[in-house]
């Protein structure tokens, strides 16, 4: 009979993880609101400089993920995230104090560096606490911080901007991360064995289950070998393409909606939130089913394919029927977010604990590169063509290739490949 693992892990850890990642995403994404509400004008930021500021964040985010994951696995995810919370909260607050664009360059790059450690460190942390049958759901509650934050940030930032201006918005939204750092330190432990809120039997059962999973995974000596793994390489490319679609969508959805006839900023804000409501619902449902059937690929590629088809359909309809076109955009947004939980559960199931965190960091860093390319190229195509059709096709194509790569990357090896792997091990 299968042992019942400690249920209080979900109530104790998941809310803390969700809030932490939500605060990270808040201090990353509120720049766009500040720029639109006076920051760009006050600091004389041209569109070209604004693009450079965006790229600097992703540059820092791209380069420092693997060192962060390595520290989280070898040393302490708890300590790394504690200092990250303090630093990114301080940097976000400092954004509200800048008087020259030069300081903003430094802050945006540093913010990318500090926040780059958060996602891989959190994935490492969750892999220490949740088993294979739970991991997709645990990952999903972490990543829910993304769409959920977009929902509430839009409302809170709007009120803060209206009441206090862009400087106080950054100051007031950055400060909570610093306070939360100390609650994080008090509430979490790196390993189950250190948790005073678990009984000795609960610690033993959970540790045995996690160790049993590791025994079924082929040993990998180090990152060099892990990074040459076919699945890791393909999923890195897949995630870059997937992120092109996601961040192109996130950055430009309000502009796409605002361009519709008789559309004001209030309607745009409300309509822009609809895809994220669908995203939250689908993420929870997909992660539950993925854990239930212990199948990852089947709950990733179909949703990316639907997202690609929805983008293509919205492009074909164009402006002839706004509400049908918008409905397809909602479907595209929701289905792009749906598979995050199952996707990040793939690597810990094929690579051992000593390299899984680094491999996930590599994949996530390629996602950061895709995020930058997505937001930049979509904006470039919109400006070049004077419409959104070309960018729809570009995002649809990226998602279609990402869906195909998911199937190829997670395809189980045939008999000949298995023999080859056995010979290599011997």
Residue 201's pLDDT band (cuts 50, 70, 90): very high
CA-nearest of 230, 263, 187, 247 to 359 is: 230
Rounded Cα–Cα distance for residues 294 and 130 (Å): 14
Residue count of the chain: 426
The percent of residues above 90 in pLDDT, for the chain, comes to 46
Are the C-beta atoms of residues 208 and 335 closer than 8 Å to each other? no
**pLDDT on residue 2:** 57
**pLDDT on residue 181:** 96
Tell me which residue has tokens 């298995």. Answer: 418
Question: Is residue 51's pLDDT more than 70?
Answer: no
What the block records as the tokens of 408 is 């190829």
In the Cβ-directed half-sphere of 143, how many Cα atoms lie within 13 Å? Answer: 27
Rounded Cα–Cα distance for residues 299 and 304 (Å): 9
Rounded Cα–Cα distance for residues 8 and 28 (Å): 31
**pLDDT on residue 422:** 39
Q: What is the mean pLDDT of the chain?
A: 86
- Roughly what angle, to the nearest 10 degrees, separates helices 265-293 and 322-337? 40
Rounded Cα–Cα distance for residues 318 and 259 (Å): 12
Least confident stretch, 32-36, 134-138, 336-340 = 32-36
- Which range has the top average pLDDT, 82-86, 206-210, 244-248, 315-319? 82-86
Residue 249's pLDDT band (cuts 50, 70, 90): confident
CA-nearest of 175, 140, 164, 381 to 280 is: 140
Longest dimension (CA), the chain: 69
- SS3 assignment for the chain: CCCCCCCHHHHHHHHHHHHHHHHHHHHHHCHHHHHHHHHHHHCCCCHHHHHHHHHHHHHHHHHCHHHHHHHHHHHHHHHHHHHHHHHHHHHHHHHCCCCCHHHHHHHHHHHHHHHHCHHHHHHHHHHCCCCCCCHHHHHHHHHCHHHHHHHHHHHHHHHHHHHHCHHHHHHHHHHHHHHHHHHHHHHCCCCHHHCCCCCHHHHHHHHHHHHHHHHCCCCCCCHHHHHCCHHHHHHHHHHHHHHHHHHHHHHHHHHHHHCCCCCCHHHHHHHHHHHHHHHHHHHHHHHHHHHHHCCCHHHCHHHHHHHHHHHHHHHHHCCCCHHHHHHHHHHHHHHHHCCHHHHHHHHHHHCCHHHHHHHHHHHHHHHHHHHHHHHHHHHHHHHHHCCCHHHHHHHHHHHHHHHHHHHHHHCCCCHHHHHHHHHHHC
**pLDDT on residue 1:** 47
Question: Is residue 5's pLDDT more than 50?
Answer: yes
**pLDDT on residue 418:** 40
Taking residues 169-186, what's their average pLDDT? 93
Are the C-beta atoms of residues 192 and 203 closer than 8 Å to each other? yes
pLDDT in tens, 311-333: 888 888 877 788 898 899 899 99
**pLDDT on residue 344:** 93
Are the C-beta atoms of residues 154 and 127 closer than 8 Å to each other? no
- Which range has the top average pLDDT, 15-24, 49-58, 60-69, 414-423? 15-24
Are the C-beta atoms of residues 342 and 300 closer than 8 Å to each other? yes
Pick the residue with more confidence: 377 or 170? 170
What is the distance, to the nearest Å, from the Cα of residue 397 to the centroid of all Cα atoms in its chain?
Answer: 21
Are the C-beta atoms of residues 26 and 153 closer than 8 Å to each other? yes
Pick the residue with more confidence: 145 or 154? 145
Rounded Cα–Cα distance for residues 143 and 14 (Å): 11
Question: Is residue 125's pLDDT more than 90?
Answer: yes
Question: Is residue 289's pLDDT more than 60?
Answer: yes
Quick count: other Cβ atoms within 10 Å of Cβ 97?
11
pLDDT in tens, 78-113: 999 999 999 999 999 999 898 888 898 999 899 989
**pLDDT on residue 163:** 84
Residue 370's pLDDT band (cuts 50, 70, 90): confident
- Roughly what angle, to the nearest 10 degrees, separates helices 47-63 and 353-385? 170
Burial class from Cβ neighbours inside 10 Å (0-12, 13-18, 19+) for residue 10 reads middle
Least confident stretch, 19-33, 289-303, 405-419 = 405-419
Rounded Cα–Cα distance for residues 119 and 360 (Å): 9
**309-313 CB contacts, 8 Å cutoff, 24+ apart:** 309/396, 310/335, 311/245, 311/392, 311/393, 311/395, 311/396, 311/399, 312/392, 312/393, 312/396
What the block records as the tokens of 193 is 């064995």
């Amino acid at each position: 009979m299968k042992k019942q693992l400690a249920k209080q892990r979900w109530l104790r850890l998941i809310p803390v993880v969700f809030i932490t990642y939500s605060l990270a995403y808040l201090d990353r994404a509120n720049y766009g609101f500040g720029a639109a509400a006076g920051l760009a004008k006050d600091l004389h930021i041209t569109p070209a400089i604004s693009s450079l500021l965006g790229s600097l964040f992703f540059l820092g985010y791209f380069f420092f993920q693997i060192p962060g994951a390595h520290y989280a696995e070898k040393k302490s995810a708890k300590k790394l995230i504690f200092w990250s919370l303090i630093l990114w909260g301080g940097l976000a607050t400092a954004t509200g104090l800048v008087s020259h664009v030069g300081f903003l360059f430094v802050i945006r790059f540093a913010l990318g560096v500090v926040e780059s450690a958060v996602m891989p460190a959190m994935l490492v942390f969750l892999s220490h606490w949740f088993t294979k049958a739970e991991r997709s759901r645990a990952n999903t509650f972490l990543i829910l911080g993304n769409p959920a934050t977009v929902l509430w940030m839009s409302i809170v930032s709007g009120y803060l901007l209206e009441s206090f201006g862009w400087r106080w918005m950054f100051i007031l939204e950055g400060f909570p991360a610093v306070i939360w750092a100390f609650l994080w330190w008090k509430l979490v432990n790196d390993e189950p064995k250190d948790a005073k809120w678990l009984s000795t039997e609960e610690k033993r059962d959970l540790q045995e289950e996690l160790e049993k999973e590791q025994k079924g995974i082929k040993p990998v000596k180090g990152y060099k070998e892990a990074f040459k793994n076919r699945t890791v390489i393909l999923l890195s490319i897949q995630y870059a393409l997937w992120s092109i679609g996601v961040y192109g969508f996130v950055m430009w959805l309000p502009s796409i909606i605002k361009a519709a006839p008789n559309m004001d900023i209030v309607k745009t804000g409300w309509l822009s939130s609809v895809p994220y409501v669908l995203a939250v619902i689908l993420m929870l449902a997909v992660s539950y089913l993925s854990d239930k059937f212990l199948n990852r690929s089947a709950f990733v590629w179909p949703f990316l394919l639907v997202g690609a088809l929805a983008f293509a359909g919205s492009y074909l309809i164009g402006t002839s029927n706004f509400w049908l076109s918008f409905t397809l955009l909602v479907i595209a947004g929701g289905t792009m977010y749906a598979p995050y939980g199952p996707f990040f559960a793939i690597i810990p199931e094929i690579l051992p604990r000593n390299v899984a965190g680094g491999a996930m960091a590599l994949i996530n860093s390629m996602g950061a590169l895709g995020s930058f390319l997505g937001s930049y190229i979509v904006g470039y195509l919109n400006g070049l063509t004077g419409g959104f059709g070309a960018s729809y096709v570009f995002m649809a194509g990226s998602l279609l290739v990402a869906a195909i790569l998911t199937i190829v990357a997670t395809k189980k090896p045939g008999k000949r490949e298995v023999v080859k792997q056995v010979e290599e091990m011997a």
